[in-house]
Amino acid sequence: MLVLAVHGSAVAAAAAATARLTAAIEALSGVRAVVGHLDVQSPSLAEVVREHPNAVVVPLLLGDGYHRRIDVPAALDGTGCVLTEGLGGEPAVALALHGRLREAERRRGPYARADAVVVAGAGSSRPGGNAGTQDCAARLAALLADDRGPDPVPVLPAYLTSAGPTVPEALAALRAAGHHRIAVAAHLLAPGRFTRALAGCGAWTVSQPLADHPRLARLVVERYATARGTRAVRAARLAC
């Protein structure tokens, strides 16, 4: 059994994105996947892991903030469940973000390209909680350098709460440096209040969230397979 630990949202589109991810995971792995929520929605993660003891729990979180380090382990206490790392800092996330950025650019025109990028993460006040966004911004900058030749594309990490610079501050800094086609790459998993805030931020284009990108499903399956051992790893690689 695979349990996805997700934040939860009152926005229906968030649940739909998570459902698409869950279906993709099950199609890749042949393993049943269920969702437990940390906030807003039910069933809660604590309820799900009590119902499915000894499951593998993959936190569907892009940062190492309070939820990953405190809430999720507390919910699993005494259940026998195996907790994997979250998704932050993985090359697959940066590749998915790069793909979403290219989709956003194409919406502005088939040959349109951003001249600067803000990678927008949720933000955390916990030490190390923003490392996932920072790492993803650095990886995205390297991918864009490979894409676009000798002219570098500035890539700045920014945050929607609890940390700085904020997204408006990062946009203002890039405009002051002479950039006009500034894209915001949403380092976010699902639609919600943060994606609504980005939609009105005044950027040249804004990318869609990541949860239902195929690379995320493969990453979750790899997390599960590693937790279950060599045989599962082999099976997951064949499925991917």
SS3 186: strand
Per-residue pLDDT of the chain (240 residues; tens, 9 = 90+): 999 999 988 889 999 999 999 999 999 999 999 999 998 889 999 999 999 999 999 999 998 877 888 999 999 999 999 999 999 989 999 999 999 999 999 999 999 999 999 999 999 988 888 999 999 999 999 999 998 877 889 999 999 999 999 999 999 999 999 999 999 999 999 999 999 999 999 999 999 999 999 999 999 999 999 999 834 433 334 333
SS3 78: coil
Q: First-to-last CA distance in the chain? A: 18
Segments of the chain assigned to CATH 3.40.50.1400:
2-87+212-239, 91-206
Strands of the sheet containing 205-206, edge to edge, are: 155-159, 116-121, 182-187, 205-206
CATH value of 91-206 in 3.30.1330.10, 3.40.50.1400, 3.20.20.60, 3.30.365.10: 3.40.50.1400
2-87+212-239: CATH number: 3.40.50.1400
pTM of structure: 0.91
